[in-house]
Chains A and B, each alone.
Chain A
Amino acid sequence: MSNVFIAFQRNEETRAIIDAIVADNPQAVVSQQPAMVKIDAPGHMVIRKSTIEQELGREFDLQEMQVHLITLSGNIDETDDEFRLTWNQ
């Protein structure tokens, strides 16, 4: 199965986002690169508002990810509560 992925700039806020992704996607693989972090997962990945809020200790709008995003791959579906990446294969 192909991987979907998402990459963020490496900073304080994304540390919490990445921890949340790892918690919600047990198959995710995190790779730290200079100034950035890339997370791969087979087939699909879900990013949950509630998990990020727990990690950050404050309210978080999923669209705030826009500020830190570097790139991603996969079909996107975004609602208020979840951001999903999937390949249909």
Chain B
Amino acid sequence: MDMKASKKLGLKERYTLMTRDLAWTPTYQAVKDVFPLTEYEGIKIHDWDKFEDPFRMTMDSYWKYQAEKERKLYAIIDAFTQNNGHLGVTDARYINALKLFLTGITPVEYMAHRGFAHIGRQYPGAGPRVACLMQSLDEIRHAQTQIHSLSNYNKYYNGFQNWRHQHDRVWYLSVPKSFFDDAVSGGPFEYIIAIGFAFEYVLTNLLFVPFISGAAYNGDMGAMAFGFSAQSDESRHMTLGLEVIKFILEQDPANLPIVQAWIDKWFWRGYRVLTLVAMMMDYMLPKRVMSWKEAWEIYAEQNGGALFADLARYGIKVPKGWEQACKEKDHLSHLAWNTFYSYGMAAPFHTWAPSEKDMEWLSAKYPDTFDKYYRSLWTHYAREQAEGRRYYSTTLPMLCQICQIPMIFTEPDDPTKIAYRESDYKNIKYHFCSDGCKSIFDLEPGKYVQSWLPVHQIHQGNCFPSDVDPGKPGFNPLAEVLRWYRISDGIDNRDYADSPDKQNFETWRTQATGN
């Protein structure tokens, strides 16, 4: 059959027809009643049509390419499960990074889905609305593909089974959870600066690129597949973040100070969440692609530097906490892993002291700090452990009111001194880990006095199963908190050396290579 298709429309024409031309101005209701949230944050938008997605992605192409990504992803997942992929990783220690990912990141992907659905509905402009709709669909896809990919590990290893339950309860999971809850409870403009710009553009490369490249390096085809599949959407998300910020700044000069304050706040909030990523890169991967410090230099200092130099033409400055974050690159992962090692009984994954070989690597990557400040800590722990006294802290740490991380961070210019900041509000004292977190509180104390701080909640008796009586003799608060967390003591937690995961992995690996 001889069929001649008519000439295809160009990308620009197709974009116009499939986005702006499908929108209309409501007449039965006033525009401000249909979009009631666009004014209260003080952002002024005069012409929504000035926003254009530079990818010029339309819904029909979106479905086409997303379907292609899904087909590729699920083919890999099938091959991975059919081929005993869970035994192919370098070492079962690696799998603990995945437990951290599933409990800490996957639920916030779902929150990102809800957040973008919400703000997409609230924007009167068709361009950003369509881009937010796509991102909302991407984010739920990320949550789903992560759950599917990691479900294969859940069949064999401990600590994956209660990820959703734990996300709302376990102490350190309140760090990513409160970050996202903070963002979605902001207005539609704050949310997109928080997540679309500060998190996606400035910071997610640090989460996905080295971690997922690390997954591939450690033989984990499952995590590599969902990670790269998710990351292929991130390019679009980053672009949305950057285009929205330029659009807002071009719309009205009065928007600049509001946007700058959000950038200062959300850079610091996001950066603090990445503390978990820093220790994952430096301590949890048996084979490491690059150190946190190197990743920070490439993706934050070089790339972020380029971004802020570009935005300088609008009057945007580098975020307030930038300099401190750059100073902390030599310390962050060491401080964080020490905390998880010490509280290793209260997390549903395993921890361990770095081996002599690991420490050689750390010392080479951190020539100015590792040997000087941190090596002695690990040799001390290792000695204690060899003598049967594996150290577990049994006290509860003090938390920062904003980032909710224990007060572990040192003074930017004195790595031997823990940093403490405080503010008074209505005759109550609140504590912070840094100037960044303190200034976020001081701008909106009414919001942050409501924080659900896991340690405070334990002290108040809100983190025990309902069948226990804390007044009874022999009451063991730690055991009851673990039960409330649904952590099986001695199975899901504590040192990797003593774990059933380690034993099983060794047994199965032996079985896999012979009869």
Contacts and interface: CB of A to CB of B under 8 A. Distances in A.
A57 B12 CA distance: 26
Given A89-B309, A89-B310, A71 B68 contact: no
B309 A76 contact: no
Contacts of B213: 33-36
Nearest to B14: A80
Interface in A44-85: 63-64, 66-80
A76 B208 CA distance: 21
Most buried by B among A2, A68, A79: A2
Interface string B45-65: 000000000111100010001
Contacts of B80: none
Those 8 A-B pairs whose CB atoms lie nearest each other, nearest first: A2-B306, A35-B216, A76-B54, A34-B217, A66-B65, A69-B235, A34-B216, A70-B231
A88 B232 CA distance: 25
Contacts of A73: 238, 303, 306-307
Contacts of A77: 54
A51 B227 CA distance: 29
Interface of B: 10-12, 54-57, 61, 65, 68-69, 72, 205, 208-209, 212-214, 216-217, 224, 228, 231-232, 234-236, 238-239, 242, 289, 302-303, 305-307, 309-310, 312-313
B216 A70 contact: no
Nearest to A86: B310
Contacts of B57: 63, 66
Interface residues of A, number: 30
A79 B68 contact: no
Nearest to B62: A66
B469 to A, nearest CB: 53
Contacts of B302: 2-3
A73 B10 CA distance: 25
B228 A9 contact: yes
A5 B304 CA distance: 12
B307 A35 contact: no
Contacts of A74: 306
B235 A70 contact: yes
Most buried by A among B54, B236, B302, B313: B54
Contact of B309 (A36, A66, A68, A87): A87
A8 to B, nearest CB: 9
B271 to A, nearest CB: 18
A86 B239 CA distance: 13
Interface in A17-61: 33-36
A29 B205 CA distance: 19
Main secondary structure of the interface of B (DSSP, over half): helix
A58 B310 CA distance: 37
A87 B306 contact: yes
Given A35-B217, A70-B208, A72-B238, 9 more contacts: A5-B303, A33-B289, A71-B231, A71-B235, A73-B238, A75-B54, A76-B54, A79-B10, A87-B310
Nearest to B205: A71
B10 A80 contact: yes
A67 B68 contact: yes
Contact of B11 (A7, A64, A70, A80): A80
B55 A78 contact: yes
B306 A3 contact: yes
Most buried by A among B68, B213, B224: B213
Contact of B214 (A4, A9, A34, A87): A34
A35 B208 CA distance: 13
B72 A67 contact: yes
A79 B12 contact: yes
9 contacts: A2-B302, A2-B310, A3-B303, A3-B306, A35-B228, A64-B65, A76-B54, A87-B310, A89-B306
A80 B15 CA distance: 12
B20 to A, nearest CB: 17
Nearest to A1: B306
A63 B61 CA distance: 8
A88 B314 CA distance: 11
A67 B307 contact: no
Contacts of A68: 232
A2 B68 CA distance: 34
A75 B232 contact: no
Given A73-B306, A89-B309, A78 B54 contact: yes
A88 B313 contact: yes
Contacts of A89: 306, 309-310, 312
A78 B238 contact: no
B368 to A, nearest CB: 25
Contacts of B235: 66, 69-72
A64 B309 CA distance: 30
A58 B12 CA distance: 23
A33 B205 CA distance: 14
Contacts of B306: 2-4, 73-74, 87, 89
A7 B56 contact: no
A66 B224 CA distance: 17
Contacts of B303: 3, 5, 73
Contacts of A72: 235, 238-239
A71 B228 CA distance: 10
B433 to A, nearest CB: 29
